[in-house]
């Protein structure tokens, strides 16, 4: 992974660049990295602040031959890999909040956005966008974001070299991706549950159609969250925002 690198100083969004590359221009493992994004995208159509030179704003392209419904597993794989890489490089313990936020001391440090290029059930490319606040300072965040977001520098007091962290992330993804292709999702699911901040805790879930409250039980083999409500009924959550009361 990362043998083919597309580096840009300033782009609207590395996701957009990754999508626009032709399939010949983006073999498996192609990485699009930028120093700054002027229109970084978050999940659910939200913007993602990506100030110049202070974070990792990148999109990794994978081209696995897997059915469409298994692609969320790759987002979880990426979240585990980034969490491990952060620990290796900085010693900071991060936790994963379903589906794909990474928190340090309860505040968001990393966001992951996976987008697909597919035709009916055939996956052509999985574009895993990773936004990691590395040396971002409190002043770089706007008022609203400040309350909920942090960076490696804010948490550790030290600057981290972005290139070192990118290399560590790619190394971790490479190991787990090979495991995934050879043996499936089993180990990654276990690792994910080990790093997960919400499993076993009481959470509130807001989906497009309903609000639910209960205990997060775990994830399924497809990466779907299982929530047990107070009547003991288990709900499968495909996509939602979760809130952990008291954090």
Residues of this chain that bind ligand BTN (CB under 6 A):
13-15, 37, 40-43, 46, 48, 50, 57-59, 101, 111-113, 129-131
User: With respect to ligand BTN, which residue has the nearer C-beta, 162 or 214?
Assistant: 162
User: With respect to ligand BTN, which residue has the nearer C-beta, 112 or 203?
Assistant: 112
Residue 2 marked ligand-binding = no
- How far apart are CB 168 and ligand BTN at their closest, in Å? 17
Q: Where are the alpha helices (DSSP H) in 139-185?
A: 143-148, 152-156, 162-183
- How far apart are CB 167 and ligand BTN at their closest, in Å? 17
Neighbours of 218 (CB within 10 A): 17
Residue 41 marked ligand-binding = yes
- How far apart are CB 74 and ligand BTN at their closest, in Å? 14
Rounded to the nearest 5 percent, the helix, strand and coil shares of the chain are 30, 35, 35
Phi, psi of 141 (to 5 degrees): -85, 140
Residue 43 marked ligand-binding = yes
CA 184 to chain centre: 19
Residue 108 marked ligand-binding = yes
Query: Which is it for strands 122-133 and 107-119: parallel, antiparallel or unpaired?
Result: antiparallel
User: With respect to ligand BTN, which residue has the nearer C-beta, 99 or 214?
Assistant: 99
d(CA 37, CA 49): 8
Which residue's CB comes closest to ligand BTN?
111
- How far apart are CB 78 and ligand BTN at their closest, in Å? 11
- How far apart are CB 176 and ligand BTN at their closest, in Å? 19
| Sequence-separated (6 or more) residues with CB below 8 Å from residue 62 | 28, 29, 74, 125, 126, 128, 177
User: With respect to ligand BTN, which residue has the nearer C-beta, 113 or 168?
Assistant: 113
Is the four-CA dihedral 226, 47, 161, 129 of positive or negative sign? positive
d(CA 138, CA 198): 26
User: With respect to ligand BTN, which residue has the nearer C-beta, 32 or 219?
Assistant: 32
């Amino acid at each position: 992974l990362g043998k083919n690198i597309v580096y840009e100083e300033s782009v609207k969004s590395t996701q957009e660049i990754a999508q626009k590359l032709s399939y010949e221009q983006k073999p498996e493992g192609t990485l699009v990295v930028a120093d700054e994004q002027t229109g970084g995208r978050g999940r659910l159509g939200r913007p993602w602040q990506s100030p110049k030179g202070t974070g990792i704003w990148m999109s990794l392209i994978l081209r696995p031959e897997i059915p469409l419904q298994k692609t969320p597993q790759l987002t979880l794989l990426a979240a585990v890999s980034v969490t491990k890489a952060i620990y290796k490089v900085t010693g900071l313990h991060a936790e994963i909040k379903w589906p794909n936020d990474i928190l340090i001391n309860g505040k968001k440090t990393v966001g992951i956005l996976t987008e697909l290029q597919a035709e009916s059930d055939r996956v052509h490319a999985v574009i895993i966008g990773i936004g990691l606040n590395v040396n971002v300072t409190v002043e770089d965040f706007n008022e609203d974001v400040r309350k909920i977001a942090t960076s490696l520098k804010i948490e550790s007091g030290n600057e981290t070299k972005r290139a070192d962290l990118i290399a560590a992330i790619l190394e971790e993804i490479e190991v787990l991706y090979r495991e995934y292709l050879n043996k499936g999702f089993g180990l990654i699911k276990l690792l994910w549950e080990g790093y997960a901040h919400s499993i076993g805790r009481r959470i509130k879930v807001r989906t497009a159609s309903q609000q639910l409250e209960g205990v997060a039980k775990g994830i399924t083999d497809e990466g779907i969250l299982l929530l047990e409500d107070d009547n003991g009924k288990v709900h499968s959550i495909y996509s939602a925002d979760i809130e952990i009361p008291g954090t």
